[in-house]
Chain A
């Protein structure tokens, strides 16, 4: 009888099952099911790995969200003021809260520049408010152009921006009205009474009447924001030679914003930035001059390393535990490629579930901390970055384990 090594299969005893004559290259789901059972069957290691990935995803998501939250707070005011095309200011201004007052005449110079549709003054400064219980609270006072009220609060909760035209009128932001500017209750233990329309405040010894409550983006200092008119702000502010903080300008339709900005700079000696540019300048200032990015960068980096360490370690030891079984599979005809795909499937499953758990926990903290001082802002980029980081951890781990599998000698199966 002629024989060939890979000859046809003879019918097995019992019922015949045809074994495909092709080499074992295309693998179907049942093999991967085996891989999953091997993974999940090892409960202890499986949960340890899940924990590691979830912890990493949680740390990365949370820390980067808080970082982005803090950074976006620094530009909260610019964010709330979308009306002007250009912010005109002293060239030495480094960020939005760095006020270098201008002479009032600069407003007229700006208005005179070719291509400027309109230009309005804006006062931004810190004034002390005396609360009804006698304590003081520093407030961020915004003085809006009396005529146009440009740069007013983005959303009103009570009253309207136009109410600022009423005598001594101010608008207070909601968070401050419920918090820092709220009045103490009748007894020391009772909750504070929120500031409401009709209440009075004393701003730098001047009487002010609350005519509206607004919702504003939180700012970095978390100080109460008090909106009023420019002329009233002049009255509230201590006498100084120069009080004009910014000139907000609109570019005439059809004119290029950057051309007009350059012309403005040339003719007035001031700097003119678009809102986007001013945000960039402000964020760069905070990045460069505060420890925030380093601290958060370190937390995120540590989270990543912890993830690599925990997940890598547990997975590696899972693979080592399974070395004998991987060796049997290899002896029984599983290729290196199949073993790698099985390992990749195992790590990916851990990665996906762990990542979802971690991000879920992070979102939960964001929901819980919604109205607190905690700056938490999770734009879509954060989950994407977290997912990429976990994917990277998964891949690193799988690759490390793969090296072990590639050098795996199937002969180990014969050793006792």
Chain B
């Protein structure tokens, strides 16, 4: 399998006023195409920062981060915007559906941003909604949906333009166990069927078993990569990983 994501010594600090907060202190990571990769770790360890870098939302300060061979830092603004629009799909903890648009319209946004006309975009959006089990809710406003249903709409939106990479930040943590499991099933069946790569940040140990591999982050570094939930050694392993 070829590598979808290759991070080498990626560093990133936030500057707020005069204080510098290091969020990533040399991240080394490799994710293959078609892999469902999970990122776990204590609050504030830099998970969100890392997927923001991978998704081309934040620039990293040092190291390199190649996504399908290219580093977002080396792209022009237009290229990075296009990269986000075409190559990446997003799923957020807070669903982030636009409240004044119907479910189908929400799902069609990435397609519209990619220059597809309204009618085929809506048709495609409806197809996606059917796939995530929302056949009855094509013209509904997000406020009329349950949390699980909203997250399914968000997944349909993330998949609609057929991106090669999907990043999710805590997609199940606002949902109950059963609903979270259903959401992960959708990810397994729909998202990975096209040799897509998924990076999921989560605190939710109940869904760990869906992952191909799980990386543990602490204090801005990846401290362990486990092949199954059983291998995870939380709390005990605080050593920084060896640089490649």
Contact = CB atoms under 8 A, between A and B. Distances in A.
Interface stretch (A53-61, A214-222, A241-249, A324-332): A324-332
Given A23-B82, A331-B84, A413-B92, A17 B120 contact: yes
Contact of A6 (B4, B82, B115, B116): B82
B63 interface: no
B227 interface: no
A416 B96 CA distance: 9
Given A33-B118, A41-B101, A414-B169, A328 B113 contact: no
Residue among B93, B100, B101, B193 with the highest chain A CB neighbour number at 10 A: B100
Interface stretch (B50-58, B205-213, B217-225, B228-236): B50-58
Interface residues of B, number: 61
Interface string A10-53: 11111101011011111111110110011011100000000000
A1 interface: yes
A329 B115 contact: no
B99 interface: yes
B194 interface: yes
Contacts of A416: 93-94, 170
A143 B13 CA distance: 90
Contact of B90 (A19, A24, A324, A331): A331
A6 B78 CA distance: 12
B70 interface: yes
A29 B94 CA distance: 28
Interface in B63-107: 67-70, 77-79, 81-87, 90, 92-94, 96, 98-101, 105
B101 A34 contact: yes
A17 B161 CA distance: 8
A5 B68 CA distance: 4
Nearest to B94: A416
Interface of B: 2-4, 33, 48, 51-52, 55, 57-58, 67-70, 77-79, 81-87, 90, 92-94, 96, 98-101, 105, 108-118, 120-121, 124, 127-128, 131, 159, 161-162, 164, 169-170, 190, 193-195
Contact of B2 (A3, A40, A334, A415): A3
A81 B81 CA distance: 68
B78 A335 contact: yes
A6 B128 CA distance: 23
B114 A24 contact: yes
Nearest to B121: A30
Contacts of A22: 115
Contacts of B92: 328, 413-414
A12 B90 contact: no
A328 B82 contact: no
A333 interface: yes
A28 B162 contact: no
A10 B195 contact: yes
30 contacts: A1-B33, A3-B68, A3-B69, A4-B68, A4-B69, A6-B70, A6-B86, A12-B159, A13-B193, A15-B127, A19-B116, A19-B162, A23-B82, A24-B86, A28-B112, A29-B118, A34-B101, A34-B109, A34-B112, A37-B105, A41-B99, A325-B98, A328-B96, A332-B90, A333-B81, A335-B77, A335-B78, A410-B57, A411-B52, A414-B92
A9 interface: yes
Nearest to B130: A14
A7 interface: yes
Given A3-B68, A332-B109, A414-B169, A17 B81 contact: no
A237 to B, nearest CB: 74
B78 A25 contact: yes
Given A37-B105, A332-B90, A333-B86, A10 B194 contact: yes
Nearest to A28: B115
B109 to A, nearest CB: 6
- What 4 A-B pairs come out closest when comparing CB atoms? A333-B85, A41-B100, A5-B70, A12-B162
Contacts of A15: 124, 127
Interface string A78-107: 000000000000000000000000000000
A9 to B, nearest CB: 6
A6 B90 contact: no
Contacts of B110: 332-333
Contacts of B67: 5
A24 B112 contact: no
A121 to B, nearest CB: 74
A411 B159 CA distance: 20
Residue among B2, B113, B190 with the highest chain A CB neighbour number at 10 A: B113
A14 B78 contact: no
Contacts of A328: 90, 92, 96, 98
Contact of B96 (A4, A26, A29, A325): A325
Contact of B109 (A5, A10, A329): A329
Contacts of A12: 159, 161-162, 194
A20 B115 contact: yes
B138 to A, nearest CB: 15
A26 B78 CA distance: 12
A30 B70 contact: no
B124 A38 contact: no
B83 to A, nearest CB: 6
A149 to B, nearest CB: 70
A41 to B, nearest CB: 2
B81 A23 contact: yes
Nearest to B127: A14
Given A6-B82, A20-B116, 7 more contacts: A2-B2, A12-B194, A13-B162, A15-B124, A17-B162, A30-B116, A331-B84
